[in-house]
């Protein structure tokens, strides 16, 4: 992955949102540790993860992941909007085996500032039925105005890393001025902007 010079050492901030139990923490920790992580406990309000990324030219980037607890009592605390402020991207997670978690995504979007690029992630593809794995995310990607969507399993560490590399590359393209992002981009334009 090509990293850009740091913008006044400003970290890349990615918030990860979705209902409790959809796998936000396992995705975060799998990426941070570069290995399958399966022993997540319920996140209380918010959990922070960070990682220093570098490339072969010794360009460094400080990545911060803000993993928001999905239980109802945390949503009602009134602090999620503050936690989401200043985000460079938002990962909207839902469980492929429980589509009610997909239908709650609009509530999670309400915590995010309108200009923040959103990415839709269907989790637990390893335990989803073949019918659930075939579920078409494109209509929801469009409805939620997401840049793109993914289906993944944390057991497939490479795909989890690939998701984060795509998101980070997109953020860096915005920061470099190579692309201009606004929340009503069409699906076709969004796909074009993902190239780094």
Average pLDDT for residues 60-67, to the nearest whole number? Answer: 86
Mean of the pLDDT values across residues 30-40?
A: 78
When pLDDT is averaged across residues 109-130 and rounded to a whole number, the result is 92
pLDDT at 126: 86
CATH fold label, 12-193: Rossmann fold (3.40.50)
* pLDDT for the residue numbered 137: 94
What is the per-residue pLDDT for 17?
94
Query: Residue 149 above 90 pLDDT?
Result: yes
Asked if 30 and 154 count as a contact pair (C-beta separation under 8 A), the reply is yes
167/170 Cα distance (integer angstroms): 5
- 11's tokens: 């970290």
- Model confidence pLDDT, tens digit, residues 127-148: 888 888 889 999 999 999 999 9
Whether residue 43 has pLDDT greater than 80: no
Whether 194 has a pLDDT exceeding 50, the answer reads no
pLDDT in the model for residue 78: 62
pLDDT of residue 192: 45
- What's the pLDDT score for residue 47? 77
How far is the C-alpha of 175 from the C-alpha of 196, rounded, in Å?
12
Q: List CB contacts of 20: < 8 A, sequence separation 6 or more.
A: 42, 43, 69, 70, 71
pLDDT value of residue 188: 43
Higher pLDDT, 63 or 6: 63
For residue range 65-111, list pLDDT tens digits in order.
Answer: 998 876 666 666 667 788 889 999 999 999 999 999 999 999 999 99
In this predicted structure, the answer to whether residue 196 has a pLDDT above a threshold of 80 is no
Nearest to 27 by CA among 190, 150, 169, 173: 150
Q: Answer with the residue of higher pLDDT: 179 or 66.
A: 66
């Amino acid at each position: 992955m090509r990293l850009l010079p740091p913008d006044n050492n400003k970290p890349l901030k990615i918030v990860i949102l979705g209902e409790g139990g959809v796998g936000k923490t396992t995705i975060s920790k799998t990426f941070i540790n570069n290995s399958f992580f399966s022993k997540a406990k319920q996140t209380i309000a918010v959990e922070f993860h960070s990682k220093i990324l570098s490339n072969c030219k010794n360009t460094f980037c400080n990545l911060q992941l803000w993993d928001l607890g999905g239980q109802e009592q945390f949503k009602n605390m009134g602090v999620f909007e503050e936690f989401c402020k200043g985000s460079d991207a938002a990962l909207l997670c839902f469980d492929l085996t429980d589509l009610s978690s997909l239908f709650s995504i609009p509530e999670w979007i309400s915590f995010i500032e309108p200009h923040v690029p959103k990415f839709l992630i269907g989790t637990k593809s390893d335990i989803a039925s073949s019918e659930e794995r075939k579920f078409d995310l494109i209509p929801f990607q469009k409805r939620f105005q997401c840049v793109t969507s993914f289906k993944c399993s944390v057991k497939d560490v490479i795909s989890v890393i690939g998701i984060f590399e795509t998101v980070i590359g997109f953020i860096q393209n915005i920061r470099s001025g190579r692309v201009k992002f606004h929340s009503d981009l069409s699906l076709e334009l969004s796909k074009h902007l993902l190239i780094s």
